[in-house]
Amino acid sequence: SSEVLEAIENVIQGVFQSLAQRKAPVLTMANRADWRNIEFKDSVGLQMIPRCTTRQIRSDCPQSAKRFALMLKILSMIYKMVQSNTYATKRDIYYSDTLLFGSQSVVDQIINDISCMLKIPRRSLHVLSTTKGFVAGNLSYTEEDGTKVNCTCSATAATVPSNVQGIKNLTSGAKFMLIVEKDATFQRLLDDDFFNKVSPCIMITGRGIPDLNTRLLVRKLWDSFQIPIFTLMDADPHGVEIMCVYKYGSVSMSFEAHHLTVPSIKWLGLLPSDLKRLNICKDALIPFTKQDQNKLESIQKRPYIACQPLWKKELEIMAASQLKAEIQVLTSLSSDYLSRVYLPNKLQFGGWL
């Protein structure tokens, strides 16, 4: 906490020095939206280069003066929380003055900017994000406040903890971890008692694009148990994008890649090549939109695809067919095909990339 307080004090000192010299204060940070500031490392994923281009938030420019003021406001709130060892969610910060902030997304962006500017992970700033992910299966742990969570003997999923850093006493007999893209598929596997039938496993869903806590939990479980991690995604560009976020990270959070990525994650399904192999009826597939086309082209150009020749092939199959499929397409074969046939066969015979 002293490191956080000192980092904030240095920023404020810089503001005072500028004012003393009759200059307009400026906040400077790495430009985290620029691919030129990103390098790809096999062992980490996407990470920010040491000497990257910066952007400035000026106090004397009409376009950025308000953002400058909001950053100082949130910095002062973080400073007080770290001093008093209290925590707040991003929603708490937004609702402390909705008129001033204008929208939740403004608060979210500013907090990420502050984390990047101070070079301090967001959870060390005492700001918690609201969790939307779920975890189920062969896992138990103790939350920071002492609450014991046992996912093993529960028919319902537990919410991913809002302070992943604080969980301890993690125990599991799981043989693998399965990251499921969508809540509906996750719930279906839960109803089918999948994590007990095949072999003990841990299931996680970020319910679409994963929030920070879900990504932190996947990383923490990997560090704790070192078991294989598989992903179950829709066979579409959006599903591939989500899988890449878990595996390699995102451009906007590349400054925190070391805590968030698990480059050993494997693509289990739904593979574009599975659609032909399983004779899925063409009528059950969905034609590409222009948005799908653009997303796929952007993924194909990314640095990590070059070192994944098998992934590259699957993306080429998708591009050639101009068709996509949701995991639910497997129900056209039989209602429990996913949990009874597809996943057990894939896991037994090594059908992952």
Among residues 79, 87, 94, 95, the one annotated as catalytic is 95
pLDDT value of residue 70: 92
**Domains parsed from the chain with CATH numbers:** 2-128 (1.10.10.10), 134-349 (3.40.1360.10)
Q: Residue 276: what pLDDT? A: 87
* Burial class of residue 269 in the structure, from the number of CB atoms within 10 Å of its CB (0-12 exposed, 13-18 middle, 19+ buried): buried
How many Cβ atoms from other residues are within 10 Å of residue 13's Cβ? 10
Q: How many CB atoms lie within 10 A of CB 217?
A: 23
Of 165, 186, 262, the C-alpha closest to 218 is 262
pLDDT of residue 242: 92
Query: What pLDDT does 154 receive?
Result: 64
Q: Are 90 and 127 in contact (CB under 8 A)?
A: yes
Looking at residue 269, what is its pLDDT?
A: 81
Quick one: pLDDT at residue 219?
92
Measured distance CA(48)–CA(203) in Å, rounded = 30
What is the predicted pLDDT for the residue at 255?
Answer: 67
As averages over each run of 10 residues, the pLDDT of the chain (353 residues) reads 88 91 87 73 76 81 88 92 88 89 90 86 81 89 87 79 86 91 89 81 90 90 92 92 88 71 88 89 86 90 85 91 89 85 88 84
pLDDT recorded at residue 240: 92
> Can you give the C-alpha Rg of the chain in angstroms?
22
Token pair of 28 as six digits: 């400077």
Distance of CA 321 to the CA centre of its chain: 29
Known catalytic residue at 94: no
20 C-beta neighbours (distance < 10 Å), count? 8
Q: What pLDDT is stored for residue 192 in this prediction?
A: 83
- Looking at residue 144, what is its pLDDT? 82
What is the pLDDT at residue 338? 87
Q: Is 219 helix (H, G, I), strand (E, B) or coil?
A: helix
This prediction has a pTM of 0.80
Tokens of residue 304, six digits: 């990590």
**Residue-level pLDDT at 120:** 84
CA angle 352–349–341, rounded 5-degree value? 90
